[in-house]
């Protein structure tokens, strides 16, 4: 698939993610601790199947449908079909390792999960969801530097990855960069207007960054 040009907002977001954070920032532990359930978008607990025909019709079709979904339930159904495509690695070995990543994460063994994901990335470097999942685990460890680096890899491969954009916004907000966080969140909901939790976050940050409308 031919990659579409990035928007100005997304280009800025990628530039932010590409910058190496100073050690003092990368090791920063915010107070209070971040709540990943609030803003970090994760795939469904049960892996959705990739519907027959989705790859032939192209993921672009699903993203266009996502933009015009009339309600939350319709949007969620389309979102799950997109996750179904993202989670399909095309490798039995990678799929097996992803099952073990899930088990390690549920057991809160984040270091093991990261090692498994690194092995997946070695054998399937274009498997976007391995990068995205590793970014999530780094975030849970509060290793924001590595999480941002992995988000950059996700967005370089799939600029419409609303989960990675929401993750980028979450990290930037935790680091106090509300303006860039707002830009990342806005990009996420321009792709997925019904993205759970992020629409409210945009409203809150808009008031904080731009003030209340007169």
Q: Taking residues 105-117, what's their average pLDDT? A: 96
pLDDT band at 16 (very low <50, low <70, confident <90, very high): very low
The answer to whether residues 128 and 161 touch, using CB atoms and an 8 Å cutoff, is yes
Q: Which two tokens stand for residue 21?
A: 């954070």
Alpha helices in 58-160, H assignment, sequence order: 59-67, 72-87, 92-106, 110-123, 128-140, 144-157
Reported as a single tens digit per residue, the pLDDT across 19-66 is: 333 333 333 333 434 454 456 777 766 655 555 554 546 799 999 999
- Domain 90-158 is in which class? mainly alpha
Instruction: Output 18 or 78, whichever has higher pLDDT.
Output: 78
pLDDT above 80 for 173: yes
> What is the pTM (predicted TM-score) of this model?
0.78
pLDDT of residue 10: 41
The pLDDT value given to residue 4: 39
Nearest to 41 by CA among 169, 152, 128: 169
For 132-159, the pLDDT digits (tens) are 999 999 999 999 999 999 999 999 999 9
Distance CA 160, CA 158 (A): 5
Of residues 85 and 2, which shows the higher confidence score? 85
**In the chain, where are the structural domains located?**
90-158
Residue 14's pLDDT is what?
46
């Amino acid at each position: 698939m031919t990659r579409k040009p990035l928007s100005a907002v997304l280009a800025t977001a990628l530039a932010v993610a590409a910058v190496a954070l100073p050690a003092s920032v990368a090791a920063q532990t915010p107070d209070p601790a971040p709540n990943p359930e609030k803003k970090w978008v994760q795939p469904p607990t049960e892996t959705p199947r990739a519907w027959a025909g989705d790859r032939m019709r192209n993921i672009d079709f699903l993203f266009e449908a996502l933009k015009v979904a009339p309600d939350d339930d319709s949007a969620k159904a389309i979102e799950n079909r997109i996750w179904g495509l993202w989670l399909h690695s095309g490798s039995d070995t990678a799929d097996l390792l992803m099952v073990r990543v899930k088990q390690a994460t549920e057991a809160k063994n984040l270091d093991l999960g990261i090692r498994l994901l690194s092995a997946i990335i070695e054998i399937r470097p274009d498997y976007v969801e391995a990068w995205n999942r590793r970014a999530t685990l780094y975030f849970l460890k509060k290793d924001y530097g590595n999480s941002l680096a992995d988000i950059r890899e996700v967005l370089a491969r799939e600029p419409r990855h609303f989960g990675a954009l929401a993750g980028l916004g979450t990290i930037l907000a935790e680091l106090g960069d509300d303006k860039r966080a707002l830009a990342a969140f806005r990009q996420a909901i321009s792709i997925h207007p019904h993205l759970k939790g992020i629409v409210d976050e945009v409203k809150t940050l808009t008031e904080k960054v731009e003030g209340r409308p007169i």
